[in-house]
Structure 1
């Protein structure tokens, strides 16, 4: 059970972000002064023991950037602290529980895993505990998108389904009469609304008797990149189309964004990073002049009915593991929960057959997945263990680590944090972790832009993705596709797609020697 604690008194105003909303494209609250914030950005989802001054000093020392690259940094082989797990030599490397989990909680983890893997069926069915699928959906289980708890991929050929990628969709809120008064409390919030016909994501499957919403069509064009030392690389530029629309045209102002399912490891540890530590790295006006302007996303929490720091999702659009899980049940599978109780899932009022269909919430569960089931899935997601680093003392890895820092990659991919000391989550409590993310939004330039805002994130901004486990992608997922839509086919391609705030770092990689590029990739593959 989640418990409440007094939040940290850190307001948006304390970071001098102004009282007027930032205007970014259609749908922003233009020319409307924002009321002074009456809320704080803390961690109400966690039962926190405050840090002592002595602990704060120890944390500052242990998370300081390295200066000696001749030997591994102290403790860095333990990516998740005591929660780290040994590397399994199989595709199950991301599917093990936290290394410090208790025997009793390992049972809860396994039950949560069963619910995560469960195939839902359409209602009515004799298996009352498993009915309620759809009627429109992207997958029949969580595991079908997050295969082996790893990352998804775009379709690889014409006959490959798009089960681990979908299109998000929204329109500017100014084009609708939707009530966004709560979101208006968040300075800089960019108001959007679901497409009036298709909702907030497109589902490419439907139960019998219903039409699916679309078919994802992806076309690529290749562009060669010359690298120093006579090497070359090629980037594939994707074009996405929502083909074979089942319910008429999209809204004329519809904004589409492709999303590949991300890996699941370490989510509970990311949730346990103090908001204060994340906010302390924000530099929205680039006051230090390094070209990096990380900004926190701030979202309205359905779970807590208040603004919170966004942490999860490719644009940090969700504040907690539980809320992210419930939203995925609703949007991806069409399963209702106490946080999102609509039996029709993502169906809109315009989809009358979906709204009037039989749903699976008519028994004593109340919703298609009940509160206990949602808690178990959240516990499972929170406790998927992070594998230990490999070859941390290797000559190429240490050289690559030095290149990583010298190039400025650590300005966004912050190596380490220490999590909150927590009363009721021992697995995540007071751990030195190495996720290589600042959890902030960054402008990644026009080539990676989806031109679709999400809360305070603009159409060019993405949350810095954690890098831990990235070297095991091929082993776990059977591919090496990266970025929000899987367009990059290697770690080098992923780096070469960087632009905007990371343009300088990207250009440095293009211009560096072949040996240094190889060392940088060796370091990333060790994470």
Structure 2
């Protein structure tokens, strides 16, 4: 498996070499260690020796890859599980074929790799197609203002609509229709002609122009296969980011995060949903309650919605992106509004009546006693089962899907398979830094620091003891083999890491901004390899920035931006200085 991964990376490198050589950022990628460069791993006047290893000694891979395992994974003897977990990430899920079975009844993507091309950032798209490889966009459908749904339920401003899940599906198994008809989704890219900040769209020192674009997404009400249909909504796009190194971020202590929040609160307004300015402490909503009642501070996703990697974007995505269930997910990622619509569709009922009697059919759980009324009721019961069973009482999922034919009690994803997946997820290494002995890169770091970019893109952290939280599924597997679940995943204690993020949300006040306007600072480590490894260098939450320069200029699009002063330094810099900063960002 490791040999195959290396071969795959070498082949991909050859295929995308022309893309790398003509990058807008003039990004020349060198692997100093593999080239035998004697300076690799050595300190110089600008960089410490440890900066060559952004994931620390236990979390860095010396190759140019987003898919390699960490030394910690290897040292702990977890390579076999890592490779098995990788298989679940890289291959398609199906409705009935093991080991990647259980897709549906509705899904966002049929594989993880669709959204994370070569383990990296999603790619720019001008059309929403769930089956398009590299389309890392998730649809964000929300209410811009407070109001009431068509069935009389009140909602708050900036809240997600409830007619479809928070990550809406555009695919479904026959005979169901997807919650959203993706053929009716329209993505229009608008070019920025003037910026609210008043800055000209060219750099003053040399007159070099730059361009900015942003997406405008519309979904007509007719595209929603729900009852009721949503009203008063807007749509945004949020792209996936690289998933390597997330285990290291999970190892950062909350006390250290708190110190960063306290320091930044002195200089900039922080999201009140995360930080209580008056108390100079965490807001009550900053805490995430895990399945066993444990509370941890949120640190994952743009919106800061997750706190532990073992209950984070990946652990949930393997369930809610595919709707593949497991022992701690005995319910579906669906909504009552979608369930009701399907139960009222005559074609759905007729199809199940015709094809659902056979106990080997995946439609058999919906068949009930074969009458139209019983099928309607059963469809609504199962598809609306979107919450876990309580107090030991089985829910519709357990009663009809899990325990009935054709599943007969067999989980779609076993605890062992999920454990292997999480070993892989937590075991992904950060690629080593490159060109840190290069004079241009060194100059870029100095300017990046002097201009205050490090105020948000905090260079380094020291991980704690990494006493990670463990979920119910992994605990169950550990018990079945007589092992301690607290020692079964890759661990990263006491590592000096360089992710270049403060793990704090900030505002840039961009056109068609992210929902709520608050967005967590994305780590910069390894992003310079994106062009070579994925074929594109898109940045920011919706891939609106096609390169590093555009990403920086969005930071000074509006004078209210938290990063306006820092980005203004870049805007007023010489071409040589701008190129140096870009070279630095691409090197780390």
Give the TM-score taking structure 2 as reference length.
0.67
Separation in 2, partners of 1:426, 1:196: 37
Answer yes or no: is 1:406 the counterpart of 2:450.
yes
Answer yes or no: is 1:351 the counterpart of 2:317.
no
- Cα distance change, pair 497–390 in 1 and its aligned pair in 2 (3 A): same
- Cα distance change, pair 70–268 in 1 and its aligned pair in 2 (3 A): same
CA contact (8 A) 1:134 1:334 kept: yes
Tell me the equivalent position of 2:94: 121
CA contact (8 A) 1:221 1:238 kept: yes
CA contact (8 A) 2:92 2:110 kept: yes
SS in 1 for 2:189: strand
Separation in 2, partners of 1:240, 1:158: 10
SS in 2 for 1:220: strand
Answer yes or no: is 1:72 the counterpart of 2:47.
yes
SS in 2 for 1:230: coil
Tell me the equivalent position of 1:185: none
- Cα distance change, pair 497–338 in 1 and its aligned pair in 2 (3 A): farther
- Cα distance change, pair 201–514 in 1 and its aligned pair in 2 (3 A): same
- Cα distance change, pair 262–157 in 1 and its aligned pair in 2 (3 A): same
Q: CA offset at residue 387 of structure 1? A: 0.6
- Cα distance change, pair 347–119 in 1 and its aligned pair in 2 (3 A): farther
Count, aligned residues: 435
Tell me the equivalent position of 1:197: 163
Q: CA offset at residue 175 of structure 1? A: 4.1
Correspondences of 1:46-125 after superposition (within 5 Å):
70-88=45-63, 93-101=65-73, 102=75, 104-122=77-95, 125=96
Q: CA offset at residue 418 of structure 1? A: 1.0
1:329 to 311, 314, 318: 318
Bigger fraction of residues in helix = 2
Deviation by residue 1:162-184 (Cα, 9 ceiling, x = unmatched):
8421212344787479899xxxx
The structure whose Rg is larger is: 2
Separation in 2, partners of 1:331, 1:76: 36
CA contact (8 A) 1:322 1:375 kept: no
Answer yes or no: is 1:498 the counterpart of 2:555.
yes
CA contact (8 A) 2:464 2:494 kept: yes
Tell me the equivalent position of 1:374: 418
CA contact (8 A) 2:323 2:333 kept: yes
Answer yes or no: is 1:226 the counterpart of 2:202.
yes
CA contact (8 A) 1:323 1:339 kept: no
**Which consecutive unaligned segments of at least 5 residues does structure 1 have?**
1-67, 181-189, 453-458
1:390 to 419, 423, 434: 434
Deviation by residue 1:177-217 (Cα, 9 ceiling, x = unmatched):
9899xxxxxxxxx8976523212122122222222213242
Deviation by residue 1:33-61 (Cα, 9 ceiling, x = unmatched):
xxxxxxxxxxxxxxxxxxxxxxxxxxxxx
Separation in 1, partners of 2:401, 2:50: 48
CA contact (8 A) 1:69 1:399 kept: no
Q: CA offset at residue 426 of structure 1? A: 5.7
Q: CA offset at residue 366 of structure 1? A: 5.8
**Which consecutive unaligned segments of at least 5 residues does structure 2 have?**
1-42, 194-200, 276-284, 343-378, 384-396, 468-486
SS in 2 for 1:219: strand
Answer yes or no: is 1:169 the counterpart of 2:102.
no
CA contact (8 A) 1:85 1:99 kept: yes
Separation in 2, partners of 1:214, 1:481: 26
CA contact (8 A) 1:178 1:193 kept: no
2:225 to 234, 244, 247: 247
Answer yes or no: is 1:214 the counterpart of 2:181.
yes
Separation in 2, partners of 1:194, 1:222: 27
Q: CA offset at residue 420 of structure 1? A: 1.2
Tell me the equivalent position of 1:463: 520
Answer yes or no: is 1:275 the counterpart of 2:254.
yes
Q: CA offset at residue 413 of structure 1? A: 0.7
CA contact (8 A) 2:61 2:70 kept: no
Q: CA offset at residue 315 of structure 1? A: 1.8
Tell me the equivalent position of 1:51: none
CA contact (8 A) 1:167 1:202 kept: yes
- Cα distance change, pair 301–286 in 1 and its aligned pair in 2 (3 A): closer
SS in 2 for 1:410: helix
Separation in 2, partners of 1:157, 1:245: 15
1:130 to 79, 87, 100: 100
Report which stretch shifted further, 352-361 or 263-272.
Answer: 352-361
Tell me the equivalent position of 2:279: none
Separation in 2, partners of 1:300, 1:460: 21
Q: CA offset at residue 308 of structure 1? A: 2.4
SS in 2 for 1:389: coil
CA RMSD of aligned residues (A): 3.1
Deviation by residue 1:199-239 (Cα, 9 ceiling, x = unmatched):
21221222222222132421112125211221110001210
Separation in 2, partners of 1:364, 1:152: 38
Report which stretch shifted further, 226-235 or 415-424.
Answer: 415-424
